[in-house]
Structures are given as structure tokens and as C-alpha cells.
Chain A
Amino acid sequence: MQITIKLNGKQVTADVAPDMNLLNFVRSQGCYSVKCGCETSNCGLCTLWMDGKPVLSCSILAARADGHEIVTMEGCQEEAAEFGAFLADQGAEQCGFCSPGFIMNVLALFREYEDPTEEEIKEYLAGNLCRCSGYEGQLRAIRAYMAYKKGGESK
């Protein structure tokens, strides 16, 4: 079946199998930042934005994205690098395999909450698994990023 998606700002029309998921579709379009960690909607690695909201692309059919706007990390490189630098400065990206999904959700968090509490941060990101970092360094990065955004601390 044919679908048309606005992918990272560009109209993309493609023929897809009815059972193809959005994860495999965006990877087939060269968006390799989107990773698969579990196939069962548990890990958060495949997070991307659909109409501005973070979704798990392994659990959405490509067909359902027809007519919608999809953004992967390829489409928000500057924002990703801005926050990513804080993660890098904690050494908390480690293997990096979960970083794109995690960062897409962090950026979504800051679109929803101007000044999230620690509890709100942890709740919002609870679905993003990471096996390397133990999460504490990710939290330090988020705090440092928030301080920087408030202008309290220069990078």
C-alpha cells in the first residue's frame, strides 16, 4: 500500500507492506538513529515524534503514520547535539545505543514541561531503558542542561 509521510520535513511517498512497522519504515528511509531493542514496546529505543509527540515506532504500523508528520533524530540534529553534549560531559552515553530514543524523549519532556521536578523527569522517562549507565548520569546531564537553559550556568 502507498503512504505519504512528512518525514523530517520532507514529503515521502512509498509503497509499504501492510504489516510494516514505523520503525522499519524510517530505517528503510535512512533514519538509522532509530534503534530496536526489544520488539515488545518495553525499551524505548525506537522513540520518535509523531505529530510532535513521542511514540514507540516498533508498535505503530507505517500505514498508520500515513498523512502524519514524523521526526527522528536525523530531523533535529541541533537540538540533539545541544542536549547530547551534556550527556557526553557526564560520560553517560556509554555504548550510545539507547541514546537517540532517550534524547528524543528528553526533548519531548522539555516541550511538555518547562521546569519538571525530579519525579516528573523519572516518570516521563521510565520507559527508556539503559543497561550501561545506571541512569544516575543521565539525570545529572538533565539537571545540568536545565541549569544551562535557565542561564544559571554557562556551558
Chain B
Amino acid sequence: MKYVNQPVRKKDAMSLVTGKPVYTDDLAPKDCLVVKVLRSPYAHAIIEEIQTDIAKKLPGIACVLTYEDVPQKRFTMAGQTYPEPSPYDRLILDKRVRFVGDAVAIVAGEDEKAVEKAMKVIKVKYQVLEPVLDFRTAKDNPILVHPEENWKALCPVGADNKRNLCACGLEEHGDVDKVIAESDVVVENTYHTKAVQQTMMETFRTYTTMDTYGRLNVISSTQVPFHVRRILSNALDIPKSKIRVVKPRIGGGFGAKQTVVAEVYPAIVTLKTGRPAKIIYTREESLTASTPRHEMEVKVRIGATKDGHIRGIEVKTLSNTGAYGEHGPTTVGLSGHKSIPLYSKAEAFRFQYDVVYTNRMSAGAYRGYGATQGIFAVESAINELAVKLGMDPVALREMNLTREGDVMHGYYGETAGSCHLDRCLERTADMIGWKEKYPRRVMPDGKIRSVGIAMAMQGSGISNVDTGAVSIKINDDGFYSLSIGASDMGTGCDTILAQMAADCLDCSVDEIIVHGVDTDISPYDSGSYASSTTYVTGMATVKACQTLVDKMKAYGAEKLGCDAKDVEFDGEKVYCLKDEKRSISRKDLGNEAMCAAHNALYATEAFSSPISPPPFMAGAVEIEVDPETGSVEVLDYAAVVDCGTVVNPNLAKVQVEGGLVQGIGMALFEEITYDEKGYVAENSLMQYKIPTRLDMGRLRVEFDSSYEQTGPFGAKSIGEIVINTPAPAIAHAVYNATGLRFTELPITPEKVAMGLIKE
């Protein structure tokens, strides 16, 4: 391996660091109409009357659209493979508004000032309804979020709009009640994780134009270009063949851009007016009308023998999907599927869940996708179990954790084919100095230093669903073009897939050019989500390169006049095994394939996996608590990850570090709070505090790679797992420092200080 496992610089890096105009708003035509959305001030209301006459007549206004102007077929904005598990519960504009910030009207004009002026003169008469704001009371509440008759669920996910249910389900293995009843020690607790925002630096944005062929062109900051095409076709009720989606560079996604949050608005304006249109979400819109993490309440029950063998695990999750069901039925699954199987030696488990609609901002995909919430709960419960057993939490985990070859009943019965979780845990404990530092030390100034630990897993793509296809061709003078449908969102998939291709083709990574996603040109890919790109699209890359090599060998053999099985390709030339002097160079192959050729030296392959091999990791934190103020400072975070073969050590490491800091934010600062009318308090980065470089202490990351036989070069995934350990590890450290057990996030200084006073 010349390039795989090397810290290759990202192909687009120098453009990005020198500020080149490569993002959506930099590329949008200068004569674009500016599109804005008038939003509901009520959490639940019916629009009785909406007057737009005056607004339409204002200078510079191109169009004003209301619910009367949009197709009446419901759709979902969730970027998922068809048929989407998320219910079809949306219209572009609806007579019923379901959260504060829901879309009421679309206004497009020549500039921002004209549009803002027009928005002020639109008169809306609302019939204000009582909202359902508390997700604990939503199920079977007489107030329905989606009473409409044309609501529909395409998949059997247990959804019922007449019960405010977006999904429900039950999975079990063995008799968990019996096993827990027989257990010597039982822990039982309820954990609450709130909605948090992905807060990518580039907010949601899209521009649309009509092209030469009368087709709608959509240039969007998205993780899911092919899903955008289908969703827009559904929303606008036009054929998919009429839509082209292009992804430029995108300024971060973290799952937010796996939902089609903004695309419909400029798209319908361009369809109605024929003119280019763009929407740039403000940060306020991105914080109040977007797609944050699902709030979840997770009840955990774990039974163990008195010597620490875990016998049964029960997880019951209540998830809040908010006003619409995007990713509701699927995120909840991971709260059990990615937490219970960390301890596959348990004889029995049960996982039960409800996902409910409320009149809050619609939730969506955020890195971790339910696993983060479930792992906070289960790992916190394991730390409580250690206390109850009087055992060291590391020793308890060592005794029970999933090891290579174990069958994970809680994970579709998959076998852990590649798993260094045991080694990750051991090394993480060493790195943080567990033996010396657990549980706490009181410093001379009265501050308390303590440590906490947690483990995590995730998947690598969605088994039997995610599909990645890759095309590769040789060009004149022998350079290669790699076309992928996976969205590079800054994480570097354009580069790591080129690294893989370079090793498959035995050439330099610079000899491979990569084309980003254009749905007219690129081979199909489900998109960059579910930790799928390295594993799924990576395997498609390996397959496509193998096919191209076979084609080049056949072509070369023909030119050399020998049998295809008697030639070899060494990266530079195809040569005859029986007479190595007879050869044709890659350069000549490329050139000859462009003159009087009968075969295209072009290969396209797709890959989908029947399994989703989990990456595993352990994370440990050292914190300092000031008992006077309740402040919790992260001093040091150690993490060891088994993502299989590390394709690009630099990019993988930065993924881990970035994920850890997002997890630290979720544990300590980030919170979305609603008032009794359903208003979000944190509507700017003044209130919604993400970690700065002064808030994260020191991060130390290592890899302990197993080899995943089914993955490209032995690789699994890295993108999501990395956000899962900070919340439980920090909550554990706070307990070790103060004796206060926090089951709700974030753990703010107020909560710690007030808790200590109560003690």
C-alpha cells in the first residue's frame, strides 16, 4: 500500500485554505432572485387567511407564494433511500403550521431589502391552536400534529398519525425480565438528551436555475444529491428527469444536510418565475427552523451477577421527532442497536421504542444518529453498575465487552468480525492514567480532578440499503478520472477514494482526478451519511478499479497479440508474461483507446453490503471541577479508535478530534430550550454556545486497527462514532468528582453548583 494509510493532503486543500470561491453562495449567479421564507410565530395554528396583494405589488418583488400555490402531495425532506422510512408528512407550504418557524409564505425579489419589506406587509390571520410541546405527553394526546388524511407512511415503521406516533417497535432476544429478575444486582435509570444543533459553519443554502434543456438545475450544499433530486420531484410534482443536482464544496454537514431543509424554496421560485433564485439561511433560521438531533428519553435496566457478569440489558427509548418525521423512525433504532451490542455476552436484551410528533422544530440526522443518545444512557448505566458492584468501571467493561468473533444479538445477530474494543479500552485507560487518577484527587486549591470513561460503536453504512457506485476511466496520456456520487463535505472522501484507486491501479494519487457529484453525470450513490462512504463507496472504488485493470489487460493483450491470461499490468504498462519485452505503456493504452477503438476503457461498479461492520472506540476524560462555581473544565481527553485500516491518518485523526469536541459541547454547553409557547431561546451563536479552542483541553487520539475482511483495504468507518463517548465519560467524571449523578444533558455549572448545595 503506497497511498492507503498515508497522510495524503486533500485534493481540494489549497483551494480551501487560500479562500477560493468554491461554495454555493460564491458560485450563485449575481442576478439571482433572493428567496426568503415568512415563518410562523405560533407553535400550532391554521392559516385562515393570507393576504399577499400588497406584497406582490412592491417594487422588486418577483413572486409571493402561499399554501394555495404549491402541489398538494405530501413528501418527506429526509435524505433516505426510497421507499423512505420517514413518513410523507410535509407540503412545501401548508395551511396548518406545526412549530414556531414553520414556513408560511415564500417571497422572492431582486434584493434582500425588497424581500424583507414585502414580508412585513403580508397579512396572515391565524386560528391559534393549543400545541403539544412535551414529548412525554404526545402519544395518544387528543391534540394531533398531523390529523390530515393524506399523511402516509411508506414503510411499516409502526407509525400512526392519529396517535402522534411517527414510529414504534420492539426487539428482543431471550427472556430479559426473567434474566434481570434472577440477577444479583440491577441498575435502572432514565436518561434525557436534548436536541442539539449540528452548527456547521456554512448554513443551509441552495441556488436554482433553468438550463438550456428546460430542466431545473439545483446547486446545493447537500450530503445527498441523488435524494435531493427525488425529494424535489416529489415536492414539486415534476418528473425526476427534469431535475439536475450539483454539489459544490460544502461548508460542513454533520448530518444536517442529509435533510432537504432549504432546497424546495428556491426550486419552486425558479419553476414559477423561470429565473435563477437562491436561498441563504441566516444563522437564526439554521438554529430555529432546521433539523437538530432528536431529543430522547432513554430508560435503561441492566442486571448482573454479583461478580460483575452482565446478564440482561433493557433499553426503552422515547424520541421526539418534532413537527415532522424526518429520520424519526431510523434514528431511534440506533439508540438500541449501537448501545446494547457493546456487551454482547448478555444472555438477553429487549429494545422498545416510541417516536412521537410534537409542535417543536423538526428533528433530523446529526452525527451519531441516535447512537449518541443511546450510548450516553447505557454507558452511564454501566458506570452506575460498577459503583453498585464495587468494581472498577474499566474492569467491569473488560469482563463484559464485545470481542472479535462474538455474535451481537442486539445488532441484527451480526458477528463482530473485526473488533479491537478490548485493546482500545486498555490503551485509553493507560493514556489517561486511570490506575493513578481514578476516581478523584482534591487539588491544593480545593478544585477536584477526576476521570471518567465510556465506550462506543457505530456502523459502516446501512446494510442491504446503502449503495455506492464508482466509475473510473483512463484518458489520453494515461491519467485516470474517478467519478463518485458520494458527497465530500470536507471530510475528504474525494481524496481517500483516490488514495484507494491509486493503490489499486499502482499509480500516483496525482494521476487520478476526481469529479464531485452531479446527478446528471456521477454514478449513483446514496450519499454521505450513515458512516458509509469509506466502507461502501470505498469497496465500489476497489471493484471498479479491478474491472478497469481487467479491461486494460484485455485491450493490451489484443494489441500485443497474446492471450489475456498471459498479460500483467504493473501500473505503468501491460506486458506479456512469456516475453516481458513485449509491452504497451499506460500512456499508449490511453491514447489508443481514443483512436479507432472498439472498447471503452471505462469501468463502473456498485457495492452494497449485507452487513455493517461496526467501528469501536473507548474515550476517557480528565476534568477539573470547581466546587465553588460548579464549573467543569476538560483538561485531557484520550481516545483510541478501531476503525479498521486507517485510510488517511491525518483526516481520520481530525475526524476524531472534531467529533470529540462536538461531544464535549453536547455534554457541557449545547442546549435548545423552548418557552411555554414553543419559542427557541438559543437563536444565535451568542446563546447557542459551541466549544471554542479554550473549552476543549488537550485531545489525544490513537488508533488500534483491526482488519475488516469485507472492507476496502480492511477499513471500516470513522465519521460518526467519534461523537459518542464524551457525554457519558464526562458525566462519569463529574460523578467521580462530586457524587452527583447527571442523567440529563448538558451538565452546566449551575446544575453542578446547585447540586452540590443540595448535597
Q: Which A positions have Cβ atoms within 8 angstroms of B?
A: 17, 32-35, 37-40, 42-43, 45, 72-74, 77, 80-81, 83-85, 87-100, 103, 122-123, 125-139
Contacts and interface: CB of A to CB of B under 8 A. Distances in A.
B9 A88 contact: yes
Nearest to B684: A40
B443 interface: no
Contact of A89 (B253, B650, B690): B650
Contact of B19 (A33, A87, A94, A122): A33
Contacts of A38: 283, 684-685
A97 B251 contact: yes
A54 to B, nearest CB: 15
Interface stretch (B137-145, B194-202, B314-322, B732-740): B194-202
Interface residues of B, number: 58
B651 interface: yes
A93 B13 contact: yes
B564 interface: no
Contacts of B661: 134-135
Contacts of B656: 134
A42 B283 CA distance: 11
A45 B650 contact: no
Contacts of A131: 198-201, 252, 254, 658, 662, 690
B17 A80 contact: yes
A35 B16 CA distance: 12
Interface string B280-297: 001110000000000000
B643 to A, nearest CB: 15
B26 interface: yes
Contact of A129 (B489, B660, B662, B685): B685
A54 B229 CA distance: 42
Interface stretch (B123-131, B531-539, B605-613, B692-700): B692-700
B685 A93 contact: no
A31 B201 CA distance: 18
Given A134-B654, A136-B699, 15 more contacts: A17-B113, A33-B21, A85-B14, A89-B9, A95-B202, A95-B489, A96-B12, A96-B22, A97-B200, A99-B19, A123-B694, A130-B201, A135-B657, A137-B654, A137-B657
Given A132-B658, A133-B658, A96 B249 contact: yes
Interface in B601-644: none
Nearest to A135: B693
A126 B201 contact: no
B756 to A, nearest CB: 28
Contacts of A92: 650, 654
A87 B12 CA distance: 12
A91 B10 contact: yes
Contacts of B648: 91
Nearest to A37: B201
Contact of B13 (A33, A39, A88): A88
B741 interface: no
Nearest to A43: B685
Contacts of A81: 14, 17-18
Contact of A91 (B284, B492, B662, B693): B492
B110 to A, nearest CB: 14
B686 interface: yes
